Structure 1
Amino acid sequence: DIANEIAKVNDERREHKFDHFKFIYHQQRVTEMLKKMPNDKRCYRLVGDTLVEYQVKDVIPMLDTNIKNLEGLETKLNEQLVAKGKEVNEYKEKNHIRFVNEKEFYEIRRNATNTDASTANSATK
């Protein structure tokens, strides 16, 4: 169902965007804090399941690279999202699909019920 697909894409987009921005923000905050520390100070970084010891001067470039990669990933995912949105819109137009709100749904349903009732009354006369 195309409506479910659209809702799913929108939910994933919102969830991903929030988590992604939160992670980038966290990386930037850590980098800012480390830049205020002496370069030879020890720090630790979780790599997989292992806690690895580094010096601040070695970690800062790694974090900067991670931030740049994440921002690049964000751009790529946004482009994919736009492409998927265009694809969905083209499908909707091609197949004459439109979304109705709850009020419109009940109005259509009521009209269909009235039409069915009047057709049944005409047939019995």
Structure 2
Amino acid sequence: MAGEGKKSKPKVKSNEEVFSGFQQLRGEQRHMANKLSEMELELHEHKIVIDTLQEVEGDRKCYKMIGGVLCERTVKEVLPMLISNRDQLTKFIESLNEQLIKKGQEVNEYKEKHNIKVRGQDEHTSGESEGEKKPRAGNVLVVNPM
């Protein structure tokens, strides 16, 4: 009987480890999504500034923030740097998007491997197909023992 009590404790710990691993993967995925959103916003701002500066003369003064210091430059000095930054941001966003897709696949594989179901997620999709609207509670993560 003492052996049975010891066997149940490792399963609880194992479930906690599975849950912790899942939460870590989801956290990494969220962090990537936030970074992607931030970079897309940065790219949008670069495009606006580039479009604006292309309409003005090259000798006109403009200001660029470099390391928290506002520096006076000309449009013809700043525009090539902005275009280069925009191109690099585009490449970085594409790379980050691919990483996010891979992380999503990794999360899904982890869920399938450890038989994890998020309560509220499955119920929500079946409720829509039936046309019934039930009040939803917060999502709950369930780790099914194998």
TM-score, L = length of structure 2: 0.61
Cα distance between partner residues in 2 of 1:103 and 1:80: 26
Match of 1:80 in 2: 99
Higher helix share: 1
Specify which of 63, 68, 76 is matched with residue 49 of structure 1. 68
Give the total of aligned pairs: 104
Deviation at 1:35, TM superposition (A): 0.8
Match of 1:112 in 2: none
TM-score, L = length of structure 1: 0.70
Deviation at 1:64, TM superposition (A): 0.6
Match of 2:117 in 1: 98
Cα distance between partner residues in 2 of 1:78 and 1:27: 19
Change (3 A) 1:26 1:102: closer
Specify which of 36, 55, 58 is matched with residue 39 of structure 1. 58
Deviation at 1:2, TM superposition (A): 4.4
Q: Report percent identity of matched pairs.
A: 32
- SS for the counterpart of 2:47 is helix
> Is the 8 Å Cα contact of residues 29 and 103 (structure 2) preserved in structure 1?
no
Deviation at 1:54, TM superposition (A): 1.4
Greater relative contact order (CA < 8 Å, ≥ 6 in sequence)? 2
> Is the 8 Å Cα contact of residues 59 and 74 (structure 2) preserved in structure 1?
yes
RMSD of equivalent CA atoms:
2.3
Match of 2:77 in 1: 58
Cα distance between partner residues in 2 of 1:22 and 1:102: 29
Q: Which has the larger radius of gyration?
A: 1
Cα distance between partner residues in 2 of 1:103 and 1:24: 36
